[in-house]
Amino acid sequence: MRIQLPKAVDEDLAADLEKQSVYVSPSVRGVRVAATRDAVDVDFVDDKDPEAQAKVQRYIDTMVSRFRKLPKKIFATNTRKDAAAYGRDVYGELKKRRWVLELGHGQVGLAGPALACMRALDAACVKLGVERFGAVHENYPALMPSEVLARCNYFKYFPHTVSMVVHLVEDYDKIDEFRRVNDHGTHLDVPDWKAFETPKVCLNPAVCYHCYQAMEKEKMSADGRCVTAVGRCFRYESKNIVGLDRAWDFTMREVIFVGTESWVSERRQKAMEAQLEQVQAWDLDCQFETANDPFFSAAYATKTYWQVRNDLKYEMRLNVEPGPDGAPRTIACASANLHENFFGKTFEITGSDGNPVFTGCAAWGLERLVLACFSQHGFDKARWPESLRADVWS
């Protein structure tokens, strides 16, 4: 079914319209924006389902009507020296070699040179944080109190991606009933949803929240503090989950800045310059540009406008293997972010100037970087840049 848009949309909004449509209704198989970008083609399970149609209409109105396009700012681009074409079916080849282990929906493990690659990339990020910014190491749990995520406005702006952790209530009969219905040992059966409590914890969707939480009510004497941490992060992306591109459970390295506005802002800028030097050393094609987070559709237009208008987020998009139709593809593999003083106010962290601190971070999605490396340098050791070759292919 074709639905006319209230106005033609730009390339980025078109991509987000398609991407976020997976959260509209189970009765929607897919949404494609027409080439003219003034209409969408919706694949309904049942074309005569008025409820699903109404949801799609509300979704489109919300995403499009208040969206205000701002020009994209390009911080930098890099062109690799490796002249060979990008690999095809790189993910398939990684699986065939058992360097990628598919273990579930959005749950992917690494082994062999792919794992070595991830470790080498992470080591470079650690070096960047420690040597350039004096970062200190911290380590965080995968779990995060729901109350903390709520205070971070995560349920307000990203409710669609949250992974909540539940457990059975402490009740002998309910636990025993659960045990009995799962006696078959083949899958999970839930006999009574009341046997679960409202989740008090969630899986961590980003590394840096824990850092700010750990500094709650702190009065900083120095102008700023830099921390680095790596962790598993969890974002549910429904039908968009695919391979190493978009996993539910993935690894993120962050270098986190907490301090006065100018201290954080200067370091975010320097971090972007350092991230660019990294991809030059890794010899990867990329574009480093302003971007927005995947806010839920109801908050998409307003939050995206603020984020892009104020240059709060830059993403490094790296070229990866082409899609099944041969079309070129890029994915965001790293970012450099400012959060203004939101976390300073939320966690009552005071800076040396007596005001709520500002925060920012540089982040790397390590599995995506691995995919970009193998997409651009292939499986021939000789093509890999010296900065990675020995570590990946030893």
Partner 1 sequence: MSSETTEGRISAIIRRVSKQAGDGPLPVDADVFRDLGVESTAALDLLFSLEDEFGVAVPDDAFSSARTIGKMTELVDSLKGAA
Asked whether 254 and 207 are in contact (CB, 8 A), the reply is yes
CB closer to partner 1, 152 vs 371:
152
Structure-token pair, residue 72:
């994209």
Task: Report in angstroms how near the CB of residue 38 gets to partner 1 at its nearest.
Answer: 21
Tell me how far, at minimum, the Cβ of 73 lies from partner 1, in Å. 12
| Least distance from partner 1 to the Cβ atom of residue 181, Å | 45
Closest contact distance (angstroms) between CB of 251 and partner 1 is 29
Nearer to partner 1, 25 or 260 (CB): 260
Question: Residue 355 Cβ, how far from partner 1 at the closest point, in Å?
Answer: 10
Taking the complex as a whole, the smallest distance from the CB of residue 354 to partner 1 amounts, in Å, to 15
Indicate the residue among 261 and 283 with the shorter CB distance to partner 1. Answer: 261
Using the minimum distance from each CB to partner 1, give the nearer residue, 68 or 167. 68
CB of 358 to partner 1, least distance (A): 11
- Structural contact between residues 288 and 276, judged by C-beta atoms closer than 8 angstroms: yes
Nearest to 247 by CA among 236, 262, 260: 236
206, exposed or middle or buried, with CB in 10 Å at 0-12, 13-18, 19+?
A: buried
- Determine the distance from the C-alpha atom of residue 282 to the mean position of all C-alpha atoms in its chain, rounded to a whole number: 21
Instruction: Specify the residue, 66 or 97, whose C-beta has the smaller distance to partner 1.
Output: 66
> Which candidate, 335, 227, 319, places its Cα nearest to that of 271?
335
Place of tokens 């402490």: 170
* CB nearer partner 1, residue 268 or residue 339: 339
The residue (of 44 and 305) whose beta carbon lies closer to partner 1 is 305
Q: How many other CB atoms sit within 10 Å of the CB of residue 247? A: 23
Residue 70 phi/psi, 5-degree rounding, is: -115, 145
For residue 84, give every residue at least 6 positions away whose Cβ sits within 8 Å of its Cβ, in sequence order, or none. Answer: 378, 383
Task: Compute the least distance from the CB of residue 49 to partner 1, in Å.
Answer: 32
The residue among 67 and 212 lying less far from partner 1, judged by its C-beta, is 67
Closer Cβ to partner 1, 111 or 306, answer by number: 306
Least separation in angstroms between residue 70's CB and partner 1 is 6
Residues that bind partner 1 (CB under 8 A): 66, 68, 70, 299, 301-303, 305-306, 309-310, 340
